[in-house]
Amino acid sequence: MYGKGIAKGLFVTFKHFFNTYVDDIRYAGRKYLRQDNFQVRQGLQPSGAYTVMYPEEKIAVPERFRFVPFLVVEDADHPERPGEDWCTSCGICAKVCPPQCIWIVRGTNPETGRPVPQPDAFYIDTDICMNCGFCAEFCPFDAIKMDHDYEMASYDRTTAHIHDKKRLSKPLSYWKTIAPTRALEEAVERGQWEHNDIAKAMKKAGQPTTPPTPENMWLKPEPPAQAEEPAATPKAPAAKKAAPAAGEPATDGDKKPKFDKQAMLAKIRAKKAQKSD
């Protein structure tokens, strides 16, 4: 019969049109708020047609979503290492980056001139970055992660999209917020919520570690009461450098202090602060 196909097509169109409103009623007030709602509406069997009124409305991105990378740093209220970099400037991310858009300047000890495991500068040209996530996959210290913030448009065509270390740095709590499952999986691999180096140092010192669970995800790290014994010896000379007037002798003058990353970083920071004064 002539026109049967047209009628069939119109019926499908009308069904979609009708389902759009049925779905809107079903998800009224909560359509973009929950992850599973989003997955249903963006899944293989969406119902109806709908428009997201961006930028007023924003669809929640799934946890595995990846945009440009950011660098993980300790939270500002960390009892021992507030704002400390997780990056050790090993350079692996820069090596594996396919379009070579990462530049790292490794930190050096101003006294000895020897390299230290901390970046002095870290740049990513986000216009070149293709969001592949290789840097995050290969980083052995979980120090670089893929961000969910995709609103980066600007009118500047020069350097606005070359992100420096300050702009790239985001606290660990941010990573836990945008990717709680991944953050937990990584922490379980490390054995605790702390940085790899800290986890190793604690294990070496025989200090107890708490296995990461969803329940202790947001607990603040313990203050360094237990870590007093190994940390006290190397930290004493660092404090002396920061305050030149203090003339007290080191607490342990007989033994040569062991290498301590935190004490050394404190020294470098004190030196830099002196230079900038």
User: Rule CB under 6 A: which residues touch ligand SF4?
Assistant: 69, 87-93, 97-99, 101-102, 104, 124, 129-135, 139, 141, 143-144
- What's CA 203's distance to the chain center, in Å? 24
Q: How many residues does the chain have?
A: 277
Q: Which is nearer to ligand SF4, 73 or 124 (CB)?
A: 124
DSSP letter for 26, please: H
Contacting residues for 20 by C-beta, under 8 A, at least 6 apart = 47, 48, 49, 50
Of 98 and 115, CB closest to ligand SF4: 98
Of the pair 88, 169, the CB lying nearest ligand SF4 is at 88
Minimum distance of ligand SF4 from residue 88's CB (angstroms): 5
**Residue 97 vs 238, nearer CB to ligand SF4:** 97
Task: Give the nearest distance from C-beta 93 to ligand SF4 in angstroms.
Answer: 3
Report the C-alpha gap between 238 and 28 in whole angstroms.
60
CB of 159 to ligand SF4, least distance (A): 17
Report, in Å, the least distance between residue 83 CB and ligand SF4: 16
Contact 159, 196 (CB under 8 A): no
**Identity of the residue, 101 or 263, whose beta carbon is nearer to ligand SF4 in the bound complex:** 101
Alpha-helical runs (H) found in the chain: 4-26, 35-41, 92-96, 134-138, 165-168, 172-178, 180-190, 196-204, 228-242, 261-276
* Residue written as token pair 């669809």: 59
Kindly state the smallest distance separating residue 238's Cβ from ligand SF4, in Å: 23
